[in-house]
Each structure stands twice: as C-alpha cells, then as structure tokens.
C-alpha cells in the first residue's frame, strides 16, 4: 500500500537515520501485524500535495486526516479513528506576551495556518467564540509556517498538537476531534482490510490509539506546565503544602535509611513538581488510614500516593489528580500455597477494599503495613496478601521473606494519583494536575528503574548462604574467563593490525578501495606506466538522492554496493577504482580514446539498469563522469588530476547530465577566470564595478515606455564589460549571487531617487533575484528596508524570479511572494515557458506579471501550434489579472503577431537594447521633451 508522508510533528517524521517514525508508523506496523498489509512510503512534500496525490490515485493511504463531509466525497474513511487530537495556538517559548488560556492577550496576533486543513475553520470558530481579532496567514506546508514563527514573522501558529518534541509553547487548546487514515476512493478493498485491522486492534486493546497518543504527543519534555494567570498568582502566594506519605511502602514511598527524609519513586515525582512550580512541600510520614482521615478533615493538604476512582474520591471527600504511575497487582503467598481462605490486607487502600468486596466468603485480616501482612503469612495467620508489584518485589527480595513467592493478578490494577483535600485551595489541584501532565512517561520509567532495586546492603556471608550453588559457579566461571582472555588476547593482537589496515584502505560499505588507498595505488601505477596513457575519471550516480528519498537508505546502500560490484567486474589489470564518498566513485582507466571510454561507461550503466529493472524502480539510473587525460609529460599529482576530473564532472552535470566530459583548455581558461572573479568580487562591489543597465519595456501599440528591467553588468578593469552569463552562474553556485542581487537592487533604488529629484519620468523597474533569496524569511523585509532608505514607493519596484528557479522550492517561493506582495512590491515570473510551464503553478503563485520566454517568440512564434498555445496562455493570464510581457521581440513581424494574439507589452532589441544608466536617462529626458 502506498502511504502518503509529510512532516507532521510527532505524528510522523523522518529521523536522521532515514527511518520513518512517529505515532502513525507505529500504528501502521500494528495494522500490518494484524492484517499482513505491506507499505511503501511516498514522500508527498506537504499537506496540500498529499491530498492531491490521494485524489489522483498516486497514493493509497493518507494518515492524519480529519473528517469533513466534503472530504468524504473525495476519499474513504474507516469506521474507527486512530485517536483524538486537538487544535492549539502555539508561540515561541521565549515570547512572554502570551500565557496559557489568557485569551485577551491573543487579540491582534499574527497567526499562521496551513491552507486546506480543518485547522482553519476551527481557528476561525475559536476567534468568534472569544471575540478576538487575528491576522491569519495561510501557508502551503507546516515546515515553512513553523520556520516563519521561529524567524518572528508570526506571533503564533494554529496547528494540531505537535507533540513532545515541539520547540514551541502552547497558549490555547480547543476543538478536540478524531483523526483517521483516509483511503483512495477507488480502493474499497483496502478500506475493508483497514477496517478489519482497526477493529481487531481495538477489540484487543480499546485504548491502543490513545496510548500511542500519550506516548508521542502527551507532553513536551523540554517544556514546563502552562499555567493560567490565576494559577500563576497562586504559585506566588502559596505557603507550605503538607503532604502525607506511607513510610513502609518502599520503593514508592519510604524514609531514607540514613537521612530519614522522604525517599523513593514518588518522592522524586514531587521533587520534579517542586522544580516545575516552585511550590514548597512538607512531607509527613504516617500510615495510610490516618492520612486519609486527616486529608478528609482538611488537616493536611494532600496524600502522596492514592489509588483513585470516582466512587472512592466521593467517599473520601478528596480530589485525585490524573494518574502518574500505573502498578500491576501481585499476590504473595508461600512456595506451595494451600488454602487461601485467610487474606491479609493493608488498611486504607482502595485495592484492599476491592479484594474484600470480591471475596465475601473469605476471612479478611487488616494490618497497618505490608510487612505486617507478610509476617502474618510466615506465622500462619494468613494464607495470602495483595499489594502493588513494586512494594511486593522490594520486600520479598529480603532474605527474611525467602519462603514467599509473588504471582501477578490480572483482575486488578492500580493507578496512583495525588489525593488533594477538598478544603485546600482549588488552584492547588489544577497546578498539581498540570504538573503531572507535563511529567513525561520516560522520566517516570527512569525513577522506577532507579528505585526498584533495594539499597539494603547484603554481606558476602549472607549471599553465599542464600545462593551456595550460584556462588561456586561464579567462582569457577571467573577462573575460566581469565584463562580464556589470556588466549583471546594473543589472537586479538594478531588480527588488530589487519583490521586497522582494512579501515585505512577499504570502504566499509562496498569493499572498494577508499580515496587514501586509491591515491597510493595511482601514484605507484603511474610511476610504472611507461608509455601507457591513462584517464582519471570522477563520477556519481545521477538519481541517487531521489532513490534514497523514495525507497529508503537500505535501497540506496544496495545501489552503491551493486555499482561497486559492476566496477570491479569491468576494471581490468593495471586499472583502479574506488568509492570516495556517498555516490561518488573514481577510476583510473587505460586511455584508448573518448569513444572507447564512453562505450565502457555505457556498458556499466547497462548492467546497473538490469539491476534497476529487477528492483522494479520506475526510471533509468545513469551516471555522470568527468575525465582528465593524464599527460605522460606532466608530474604525477594525483589530487590535482582528481580535482580537474571533478571539475569536468560538475560541468557535465550543468550541461544536462552528459555521460562523459573531458577536461579541456576551455574549461581551464574558464576555471582561471572564475577563480579571478571570485577573488575580486568584494572589491568590485565596493568600487562600483558591478552596475545595472536598463532595458525598456514598451507598449507595442504606441511605443511608449511603461517600465524597464535592471540587468547586471561588470565593468572589469582587465576583461572589460562582462555579461551576466560569464559570472552569475559562478556566484549562483557559491551563494555570493545574493550579494550581487542586493547590490544591484540598491543601485536601482539610488538611481530612481535621483530620477525623481530631477523630475524624470518614474516607471516600474524590475530586478532579477536568485532563488537562494526565496529560502530566506528575512528577504522581503530586507528589500523593504533598502527601498525605504531611498524613499522609493514599493509599487514602483518589481521582483523577478525565473520559472525554473521557482520549481526548485515552489512552497518557499509561494510564501515569499505573498510576503513581498504584503510589503507592496510587484512580482513577476521570468522566462515563463522555458521548461516547466504550469498554469496551475502560476495561479497558485498569483504573480503580477508573466514574462513569456524569448524562445517562444524567436523560435516558435511563426508556427500555428505555437500561436495557439501562446494565445491561450495570454488569455488565461489576463483573466487571472496578470500582466503579460513577451521577451526577445526583435522584428516588426513578431510584434504584429503578438498584438494579434492579445499581448501588447514587450521587451526586446526591436524596441530598445540594454543601456547604461546615463543613456537610459537620456531616453527618459526625451520623453519630457
């Protein structure tokens, strides 16, 4: 079954190891064990796309779906939900403006929500109910929304409970609802199997879903409880809280043997509560029956450990918190119990009341402590006793009770809670109950492990007397181990060197040589090569990351090992191969010409494709290699050869994943230029070598200028005027293009300020920006600050991003474009139609302008089919209230055709070439004249 996946807190996430984890995947494993269903995880990217993929039959199952009547028409829902969740408003942990359930403070918040989720109407209902005003900002996926909250672009987010590991703090909870695994509407047979599995699980354990919910989503380990303003006031003014505990109930509650202070599992629970709240407790030891009398009368505030139920609470006139520890019940008796007519029970416990009620025909004898109950069994006053499993185990390990045995009792259970007097401040109950809610199960488990073994010292004589056979066996084992270790030590010494050599020279996954060994062997082989020519090859597997993401790391490792085997079979004598990292391999092959090398690589790719077909992978796997011809006349710097081959590999990938590309003189010259430009960029920006040139945009009907585009040029002191194509790709790769973009944008703003002061016509100017900016939440604010520095109205500035750049990360781009429009900037999609055309994408991005790529105009425009397509794009874009500009218009015929198709705005050499600032200013001045 194809299961849709998107990152969603502790419900489902992908760990660093690559494994899918969370509540959903544990539940799916349980369904698999029940029904035999097998799964293939499909990464949908985000919530919106996962819904679309379910409706388009690209996945079979989609977890974490809330029911709505509209969704029920598009997908199938099982009879039973997985569990119940609720909506929250969460804020940054350090944001002191908001406290839990202080709804008035939420007024005016900027709140992010994921579009197309049920969270949106739930949040709107919450806003109406409490009479609040909130600014709701939609996001296409949760990750970008949470990042925006982290970056302080939002005050809060409206999301389902995110679970223990959320870094954010909950300030409001509302709208609890069940969530389901939705099924593809065309797969009723899958729904039937899912229903069968869920019913079997719930019949076996009705609380299974909520137990998982508690495991993954109940509390946040890193967070303190969230208290209301009233509860916070109580914490500031509360005096000492008196708490009674049973000193005989080890390891749960007892006195420390040395300090005589309150000690045990429950003592540590209260210590955690004290750390969370700052409350001061006074712990008083007393038997349970006396403690119940005093807490009922209000003489003490609370009882540390009280098994509770509704009827028991009502009878005792106490309020009990949520349970913090569930204990199994044990029956204690002699080794060979006979009659069980006489039962010894401890006074004051709910368990004792239940057992007495269920055994009306037995003789019940009550004792003050469990030790007294066990002594009664030893003295033949009683046959059996009952207790929680922890205290029973603790006591029976004492040699005094060596003749007693423990048997678990399935018909009873006990949930320990804090019992609070009804005469105490009601806020005390709320504070303790919330504190226990935020006490993770993991910490309780640690406390149980810490205290479950008795700390009583046992002498060696007692131990040997109690376990004579075990003591003798241990002594013999000790001497045998010493003898064995002496022999093993010799073997280890002889094998350790071999192991070290293997680690130094071999790739542990594939068994190939590693880079260190490859360099050593290359130097040796080339030194003895004589007149033989070699080629150094550096390559990678093009689809490796996709395979890792879609099929998992295990399949990725299989691919790496398979390709390593193929290399070993195809590399001949006096040739080398190695894996250096991830999916990158290096080869030293005999150079028998480009065609021969290309044929050998194709043969290896074909062998890899045969393996791919056996694995039923849907697309062909290919490799890309860069090669460097090793000159017999040059030195043997292996690392330099690898670097040059790797440079050729990167060029091959930039040129459409060419299978093989040799490093040549052109690359060398380009590399030298790039190295020089890279080193000079900082100086060039400071000295004003990088400047904007302007190309006019015109209304083709009148020839009037309606705007311009700023294009980067580099006035290099040595190489002259450099076009963007000679340096922008370089700085796009290393990230420095962002400095160039912002520099050009600031120069444009400065120039526009000058034009306005000189009363020159002011039109919209568009600037190009790398996709890298759109991954940065602060980008829109940064542009706004620059524009405001020069007092340029935001609506006079247009932000351009290419269509291909959008496809790298459409969700992040969508979010940034929304923010840019909120700041008042215009937005444009450049080079539309150059490779990834999607009107659905255009509609989602809601840009102001679409710029038709020049290839449409210069290459395809004369054709009738191209004109039909272009006419449809123009018409649809205009209906979506987007302006259309055609780039690359160079002839009158092209202009005439475009106007006939309904496009009246253009940019191209027919109207104006890119011009330096002073020439473009002269053009503007002519407009005034």
**If DSSP codes are grouped into helix, strand and coil, which group holds residue 929?**
coil
Task: In whole angstroms, give the CA distance from residue 432 to residue 279.
Answer: 10
Residue pair 210/85 in contact by the 8 Å Cβ criterion: no
DSSP 472-538: HHHHHHHHHHHHHHHHHHHHHHHHHHHHHHHHHHB-TTT-SB-HHHHHHHHHHHHHT-TT--EEEEE
Alpha helices in 790-891 (DSSP H): 803-806, 810-822, 839-845, 854-855, 864-879
pLDDT, residue 635, reads 54
pLDDT, residue 865, reads 81
Structure tokens, 655: 């040129």
Task: Give the β-pairing of 110-114 and 905-907.
Answer: unpaired
Element (H, E) at 435: helix 426-437
Structure tokens, 236: 């500031």
Residue ranges in the chain modelled with pLDDT below 50? 220-222, 454-456, 462, 496, 633, 837
Task: In whole angstroms, give the CA distance from residue 800 to residue 853.
Answer: 13
Structure-token match 């046992």, residue found: 458
Question: What pTM did the predictor assign?
Answer: 0.45
Q: CA angle 108-113-116, nearest 5°? A: 140
* Residue of 447, 442, 386 lying closest to 412 (CA atoms): 386
- What confidence tens digit (pLDDT) does each residue in 864-915 have? 887 888 888 888 888 888 899 999 999 999 999 999 999 999 999 999 999 9
* Residue of 751, 746, 755, 767 lying closest to 924 (CA atoms): 755
Q: Say how many CA atoms lie within 13 Å of 372 toward its Cβ.
A: 11
Task: In whole angstroms, give the CA distance from residue 87 to residue 122.
Answer: 8
Q: Which residues contact 404 (CB under 8 A, 6 or more apart)?
A: 332, 333, 334, 335, 374, 377, 378, 396
Taking CA atoms, 104 is separated from 87, 94, 155, 172, 767, in Å, by 18, 19, 14, 11, 43
SS (H, E, C) 674-730: HHHHHHHHHHHHHHCCEEEEEEEEEECCCCEEEEEEEEEEEEECCCEEECHHHCHHH
Handedness of CA 190, 191, 195, 198 (dihedral sign): positive
Residue pair 210/84 in contact by the 8 Å Cβ criterion: yes
> Per DSSP, what are the bridge partners of residue 624?
540
Handedness of CA 720, 725, 731, 737 (dihedral sign): positive
Q: Which residues contact 268 (CB under 8 A, 6 or more apart)?
A: 447, 450, 451
Which residues of 27-155 form beta strands (DSSP E)? 40-43, 61-66, 75-76, 83-92, 110-114, 135-139
Residue pair 330/408 in contact by the 8 Å Cβ criterion: yes
Verify cis geometry, omega within 30 degrees of 0, for the bond prior to 722.
Answer: no
pLDDT, residue 258, reads 87
Structure-token match 């099924």, residue found: 183
Integer Rg of the chain from CA:
37
**If DSSP codes are grouped into helix, strand and coil, which group holds residue 542?**
coil
Structure tokens, 662: 């040799």
pLDDT, residue 240, reads 93
DSSP 136-202: EEEESSHHHHHHHHHTTS-SEEEEE---TT-SEEEEEEEEEEEEEEEEETT-HHHHHHHHHHHHHHH
Task: In whole angstroms, give the CA distance from residue 659 to residue 597.
Answer: 11
Structure tokens, 866: 């191209």
Taking CA atoms, 464 is separated from 429, 474, 479, 917, in Å, by 50, 11, 18, 98
Contacts 24+ apart (CB under 8 A), 521-530: 521/576, 522/576, 522/588, 522/636, 522/638, 522/641, 523/636, 523/638, 525/574, 525/576, 525/588, 526/588, 526/630, 526/636, 526/638, 527/636, 529/574, 529/632
Q: How confident is the prediction for the chain on average, in pLDDT? A: 85
**If DSSP codes are grouped into helix, strand and coil, which group holds residue 4?**
strand
pLDDT, residue 455, reads 46
pLDDT, residue 101, reads 79
pLDDT, residue 838, reads 54
492 phi/psi in degrees, rounded to 5: -65, -40
How far does CA 713 lie from the centroid of its chain? 41
DSSP symbol at 75: E
């Amino acid at each position: 079954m194809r299961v849709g996946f998107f990152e969603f807190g502790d419900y489902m996430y992908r760990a660093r190891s690559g494994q899918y984890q969370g509540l959903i995947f544990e539940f799916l494993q349980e369904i698999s064990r029940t029904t035999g269903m097998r799964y293939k995880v499909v990464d949908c990217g985000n919530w919106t796309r996962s819904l679309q993929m379910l409706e388009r039959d690209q996945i079979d199952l989609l977890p974490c779906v809330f029911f709505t009547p509209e969704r029920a028409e598009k997908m199938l829902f099982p009879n039973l939900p997985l569990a119940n969740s609720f909506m929250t408003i969460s804020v940054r942990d350090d944001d002191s403006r908001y406290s839990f359930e202080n709804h008035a403070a939420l007024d005016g918040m900027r709140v992010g929500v994921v579009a197309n989720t049920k969270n949106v109407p739930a949040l709107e209902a919450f806003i109406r109910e409490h009479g609040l005003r909130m600014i709701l900002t939609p996001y296409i996926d949760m990750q970008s929304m949470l990042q925006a909250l982290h970056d302080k672009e939002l005050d809060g987010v409206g999301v389902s409970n995110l679970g223990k590991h959320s870094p954010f703090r909950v300030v409001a909870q509302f709208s609890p609802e069940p969530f389901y695994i939705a099924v593809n509407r065309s797969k009723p047979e899958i729904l039937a199997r899912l229903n069968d599995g869920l019913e079997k699980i719930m019949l076996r354990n009705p609380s299974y879903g909520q137990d998982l919910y508690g495991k993954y989503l109940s509390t946040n380990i890193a967070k303190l409880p969230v208290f209301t303003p009233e509860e916070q006031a109580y914490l500031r003014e509360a005096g000492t809280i008196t708490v009674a505990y049973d000193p005989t109930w080890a390891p749960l509650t007892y006195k420390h043997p040395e300090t005589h202070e309150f000690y045990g599992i429950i003592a540590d629970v209260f210590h955690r509560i004290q750390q969370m709240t700052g409350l001061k407790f006074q712990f008083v030891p007393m038997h349970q029956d006396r403690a119940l009398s005093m807490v009922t009368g209000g003489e003490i505030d609370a009882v540390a450990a009280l098994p509770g139920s509704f009827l028991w609470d009502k009878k005792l006139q106490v309020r009990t918190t949520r349970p913090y520890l569930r204990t199994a019940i044990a029956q204690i008796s002699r080794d060979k119990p006979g009659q069980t007519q006489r039962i010894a029970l401890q006074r004051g416990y709910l368990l004792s009341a239940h057992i007495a009620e269920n055994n009306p025909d037995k003789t019940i004898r009550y004792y003050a402590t469990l030790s007294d109950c066990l002594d009664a069994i030893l003295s033949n006053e009683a046959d059996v006793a009952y207790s929680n499993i922890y205290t029973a185990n603790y006591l029976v390990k004492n040699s005094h009770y060596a003749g007693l045995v423990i048997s678990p009792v399935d018909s009873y259970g006990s949930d320990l809670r804090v019992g609070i007097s009804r005469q105490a401040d009601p806020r005390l109950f709320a504070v303790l109950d919330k504190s226990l809610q935020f006490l993770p199960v993991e910490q309780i488990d640690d406390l149980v492990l810490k205290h479950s073994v008795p700390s009583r010292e046992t002498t060696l004589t007692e131990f040997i007397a109690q376990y004579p056979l075990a003591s003798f066996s241990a002594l013999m084992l000790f001497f045998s181990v010493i003898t064995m270790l002496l022999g093993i030590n010799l073997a280890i010494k002889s094998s350790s060197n071999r192991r070290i050599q293997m680690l130094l020279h071999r790739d542990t996954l594939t068994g190939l040589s590693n880079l260190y060994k490859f360099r050593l062997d290359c130097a040796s082989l080339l030194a003895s090569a004589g007149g033989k020519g070699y080629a150094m090859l550096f390559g990678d597997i093009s689809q490796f990351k996709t395979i890792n993401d879609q099929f998992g790391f295990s399949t990725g490792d299989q691919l790496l090992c398979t390709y390593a085997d193929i290399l070993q079979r195809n590399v001949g004598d006096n040739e080398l191969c190695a894996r250096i990292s991830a999916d990158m391999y290096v080869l030293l092959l005999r150079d028998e010409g480009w065609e021969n090398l290309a044929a050998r690589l194709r043969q290896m790719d074909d062998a890899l494709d045969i393996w791919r077909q056996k694995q039923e992978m849907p697309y062909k796997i290919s490799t890309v290699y860069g090669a460097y011809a090793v000159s017999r006349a040059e030195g043997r710097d292996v690392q330099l050869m690898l670097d040059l081959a790797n440079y050729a590999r990167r060029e091959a990938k930039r040129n459409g994943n060419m299978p093989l590309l040799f490093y040549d003189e052109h690359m060398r010259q380009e590399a030298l230029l790039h190295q020089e430009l890279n080193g000079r960029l900082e100086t060039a920006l400071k000295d004003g070598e990088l400047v904007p040139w302007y190309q006019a945009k015109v209304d083709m009907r009148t020839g009037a200028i309606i705007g311009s585009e700023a294009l980067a040029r580099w006035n290099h002191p040595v190489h002259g005027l450099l076009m963007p194509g000679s340096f922008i790709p370089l700085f796009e790769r290393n990230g420095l293009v962002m400095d160039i973009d912002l520099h050009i944008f600031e120069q444009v703003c400065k120039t526009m300020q000058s034009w306005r002061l000189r009363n020159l016509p002011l039109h919209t100017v568009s600037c190009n920006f790398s996709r890298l900016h759109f991954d940065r939440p602060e980008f829109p604010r940064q542009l706004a600050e620059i524009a405001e520095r020069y007092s340029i109205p935001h609506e006079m500035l247009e932000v351009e991003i290419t269509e291909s750049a959008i496809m790298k990360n459409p969700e992040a781009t969508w979010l940034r474009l929304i923010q840019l429009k909120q700041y008042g900037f215009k937005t444009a999609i450049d080079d539309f139609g150059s490779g990834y055309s999607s009107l659905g994408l255009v509609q989602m991005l809601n840009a102001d302008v679409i710029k038709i790529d020049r290839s449409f105009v210069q290459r395809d425009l004369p054709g009738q089919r191209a004109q039909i397509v272009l006419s449809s794009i123009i018409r649809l874009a205009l209906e979506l209230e987007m302006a259309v500009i055609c780039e690359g218009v160079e002839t009158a015929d092209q202009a005439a055709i475009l106007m006939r198709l309904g496009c009246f705005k253009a940019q191209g050499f027919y109207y104006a070439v890119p011009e330096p600032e002073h020439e473009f200013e002269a053009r503007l001045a002519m407009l005034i004249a």
